[in-house]
């Protein structure tokens, strides 16, 4: 019975976590390039209950001198938050540097169902990936940056990899030039052919959210997605589904609380059994 208290508590804790995930989704309902998270709940591992010193009944009882009662699980936890990589709706933007990615459709069963394209950006000295194409121009240097101020990296069209030592400079007429970190123009040759582009991640679920709509980790490969100029990919958060999840969360939380209260009152009875007078 005491176990039941902890089981119900684990239910309350997981619903708190779930509520945190849902409210983060709702807060980012208008964040360009945001991918909503889905919480995945897992039950604690099943444990086998045994009766000691009783071999009269149950499966495998003779062998161990123990009777089997059955398996039981002691609660649940919020195992992981998986971002939904479904594309958000595209919206026209009057930002001349706005880009939206349209992914190459992947066949079911091809093993690339979660292959998506991303813009490479430089955060500190780390290459991160983003779907937010609401780019701007850095004051002074005229380099292409994200709305957070990180450099957008060009992609080497020969190797298909992002070029961490190159930048994109916006010229007077709005055309893109490719320069190195010191601002000197890059000379395209057989090994280097920079272009503003995207890179692919074969299994986007291996990416970790960093914040600022950036993702990190994951193996990048040659990009297959298409860039639409003058459009922005909106957040893919489904507000009505979030509302339903919240209602679900609060009721499940309440039910767990009721369980604790009823266990508590049962325990109280047990305490009063031994009371004198």
Partner 1 sequence: MRSLWTSASGLHGQQARLDAIAHNMANLNTKGYKAQDVQFKDLLYVEMGQQAAVNGLNERNTPAGLRIGHGVYAANVKHSFTPGPLERTDLKLDVAIQGEGFFSVGIYDATGRTIQVGFTRDGSFKVGQDRAGNHFLVDSGGRPVLNRQAQPIELTGVDVNTVKIDAAGTISGMIGGEMTELGQLEVARIQNPEANLDAIGENLYVLDANAGVNVVTAGVAGTEGTSLLQGSLEMSNVDMAAQMTDMIMAQRAYGMNSRAIQVADQMMGIANNLRNG
Residue 217 touches partner 1, criterion: CB under 8 A:
yes
Shortest reach from residue 277's CB to partner 1, in Å: 21
Task: Give the range of 52-60, 120-128, 140-148, 158-166 binding partner 1 by CB under 8 A.
Answer: 140-148
Please, what is the minimum distance in Å from the beta carbon of residue 82 to partner 1? 5
Query: What are the Cα distances from residue 220, in Å, to 52, 122, 167, 225?
Result: 56, 14, 19, 13
Per-residue contact flags (x/-) with partner 1 for residues 47 to 86, judged by CB under 8 A = -------------------------------xxxxx----
Instruction: List the one residue out of 189, 117, 128 whose CA is nearest residue 158.
Output: 189
The Cα–Cα gap between 97 and 36 comes to: 25
60/189 Cα distance (integer angstroms):
73
Determine which helix (DSSP H) or strand (DSSP E) holds 260, and give its type and residue range. Answer: helix 239-273
d(CA 135, CA 99): 8
Helices (H), 2-122: 2-27, 61-64
**Cα–Cα distance between 34 and 85 in angstroms, integer?**
9
148 binds partner 1 (CB under 8 A): yes
41 binds partner 1 (CB under 8 A): no
Q: Which stretch binds partner 1 (CB under 8 A): 104-112, 116-124, 129-137, 193-201?
A: 129-137
Residue 213: half-sphere exposure toward Cβ, Cα within 13 Å = 30
Q: Which is nearer to partner 1, 6 or 158 (CB)?
A: 6
Q: Give φ, ψ of 193 to 5 degrees.
A: -145, 85
CB-nearer residue toward partner 1: 142 or 157? 142
Distance of CA 65 to the CA centre of its chain: 48
Output the smallest distance, CB 189 to partner 1, in A.
28
- Segment interacting with partner 1, rule: CB under 8 A, options 59-67, 151-159, 184-192, 209-217: 209-217
Residues 6+ apart with CB under 8 A from 109: none
Among 48, 69, 243, 244, binds partner 1 (CB under 8 A): 243
**Contact between 264 and partner 1 per CB under 8 A:** yes
Bridge partners for 145 per DSSP: 136, 151
Is 45 a binding residue for partner 1 by CB under 8 A? The answer is yes
User: Which residues of this chain interact with partner 1, rule CB under 8 A?
Assistant: 12, 15-17, 19-24, 26-32, 34, 37, 40, 42, 45, 78-82, 94-95, 132, 134, 136-142, 147-148, 170-172, 205-206, 208-213, 217, 239, 242-243, 246-247, 249-250, 253-254, 257, 260-261, 264
């Amino acid at each position: 019975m005491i176990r039941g208290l902890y089981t119900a508590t684990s239910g309350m804790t997981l619903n708190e976590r779930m509520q945190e995930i849902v409210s983060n989704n709702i807060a980012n309902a208008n964040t360009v390039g945001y991918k909503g998270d889905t919480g995945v709940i897992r039950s604690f591992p099943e444990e086998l209950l045994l009766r000691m010193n009783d071999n009269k009944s149950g499966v495998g009882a003779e062998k161990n001198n123990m009777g089997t009662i059955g398996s039981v699980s002691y609660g649940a936890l919020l195992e992981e938050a998986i971002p939904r990589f479904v594309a958000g709706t595209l919206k026209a933007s009057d930002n001349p540097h706005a880009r939206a990615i349209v992914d190459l459709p992947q066949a079911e069963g091809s093993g690339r169902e979660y292959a998506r394209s991303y813009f490479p950006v430089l955060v500190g000295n780390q290459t991160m990936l983003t779907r937010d194409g609401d780019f701007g121009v850095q004051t002074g240097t005229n380099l292409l940056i994200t709305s957070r101020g990180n450099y957008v990296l060009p992609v080497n069209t020969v190797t298909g990899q992002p070029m961490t030592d190159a930048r994109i400079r916006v010229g007077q007429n709005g055309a893109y030039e490719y320069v190195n970190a010191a601002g000197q123009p890059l000379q395209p040759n057989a090994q280097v052919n920079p272009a503003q582009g995207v890179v692919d991640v074969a299994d986007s679920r291996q990416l970790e959210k960093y914040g600022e709509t950036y993702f990190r980790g994951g193996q990048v490969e040659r990009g297959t997605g298409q860039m639409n100029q003058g459009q922005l990919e909106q957040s893919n958060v489904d507000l009505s589904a979030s509302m339903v999840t919240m209602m679900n969360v609060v009721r499940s939380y309440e039910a767990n609380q009721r369980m604790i209260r009823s266990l508590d009152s049962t325990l109280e009875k047990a305490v009063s059994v031994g009371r004198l007078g």
